[in-house]
Amino acid sequence: MRFFYEVGRYFIFLRSLFINRESFYTYYKLVLEECIAIGIGSLFLVVLVSTFIGAVSTVQTAYNLVSPLIPRYVIAQVVREMTVLELAPTIMAIIFAGKVGSSMAGNLGTMRITEQIDAVEVMGINSISYLVLPKIVASMLMYPMLVIVAGFCSLFGGYLVGSATGIITPPEYIFGLRFVFNDFTISFALIKSIVFAFLVSSISSFKGFYTHGGALEVGIATTQAVTNSVIAILLADYFLAQLLLA
């Protein structure tokens, strides 16, 4: 019963985002601020993680392709498919949930327990719309860009390690990246990234917004925000793959 109550409340929360909104200019400024916090704030971590994931994927794919009958450019092809289809949008989404989602839940949870949300509400402002909508919009704008950066860094990391260790030559790597390339995979990755960004930001905001109690509850809400976001990402990942690739 508790589960259905929470799901129902989540949908009411989403509906509240779009009713009794403030002026467009108010949101414009807030979205820009959130874009900087989410996009620029996550850039270093995304570049670091994706570069290493690409590098490790290259080394491990080469380690597993032991047959002399398989050309070496296949390593790059495998790294490309892994990166574009799964590593860049999905693994980054889990990292995104850990960094941005927890920050959103913690921020809103702290605002709740220190009565800052009440202060917004008492002024006659729709606090859900004012505080949460910019976060969701900014996430949906910035996360696909982060995924593009992650994809590039991952493939570049594979290129660097492949070239430096002699696993694969640069021309072979570039050839592998281009070989039988289906451009729909990029569209698929971007569709996934928009869906994941929405899930992470809305679930984390929901958890933070309805925190009650003290610092301990803010910690619990933050943990739940990340856990629930990751579960939602994995479920959505499966359904999107089934819907768009099967």
Partner 1 sequence: MIKIKDIHKSFADKMVLEGVSGEFKKGTCNLIIGASGTGKSVLLKCIVGLIPSDKGTIFYDLRNFSNADHEIKAQIRREIGMLFQGGALFDSKTVEQNVMFPLDILTKMPLGEKLDRVNFCLKRVGLENAAKKMPSEISGGMRKRVGIARAIVNNPAYLFCDEPNSGLDPQTSILIDELIQDITYEFNTTTIVVTHDMNSVMGIGDNIMFLYKGHKLWEGNKENITHSGIQELDDFVFANKVMSALRDKL
Question: Which residues of the chain form contacts with partner 1 (CB under 8 A)?
Answer: 20, 22, 26, 110, 114-116, 118-119, 121-125, 130
Number of helices (H) and strands (E) in the chain: give both, helices first. Answer: 11, 0
Check residue 89 and report its DSSP letter: I
Task: Please state at what angle helix 73-82 crosses helix 170-178, rounded to 10 degrees.
Answer: 50
Cα distances from 82 to residues 88, 151, 233, in angstroms, run 8, 10, 17
Is 232:140 a contact under the CB 8 Å cutoff?
no
Within 8 A by CB and 6+ apart from 111, the residues are: 117, 131, 208
What H or E segment, with its residue span, contains residue 29?
helix 24-35
Is 96:41 a contact under the CB 8 Å cutoff?
no
Closest distance between partner 1 and the C-beta of residue 128, in Å? 13
Closest distance between partner 1 and the C-beta of residue 151, in Å? 32
Q: Toward partner 1, which CB reaches closer, 66 or 123? A: 123
Closest distance between partner 1 and the C-beta of residue 36, in Å? 13
Closest distance between partner 1 and the C-beta of residue 119, in Å? 4
Q: Toward partner 1, which CB reaches closer, 131 or 149? A: 131
Q: Toward partner 1, which CB reaches closer, 86 or 121? A: 121
Q: Toward partner 1, which CB reaches closer, 119 or 234? A: 119
Q: φ, ψ for residue 166 (rounded to 5)?
A: 80, 15
Q: Toward partner 1, which CB reaches closer, 150 or 218? A: 218
Closest distance between partner 1 and the C-beta of residue 105, in Å? 16
Within 8 A by CB and 6+ apart from 42, the residues are: 96, 99, 100, 142, 146
Closest distance between partner 1 and the C-beta of residue 126, in Å? 9
Closest distance between partner 1 and the C-beta of residue 129, in Å? 12
Q: Toward partner 1, which CB reaches closer, 15 or 178? A: 15
Apex 192 CA angle, 73 and 131, nearest 5: 140
Q: Toward partner 1, which CB reaches closer, 122 or 245? A: 122
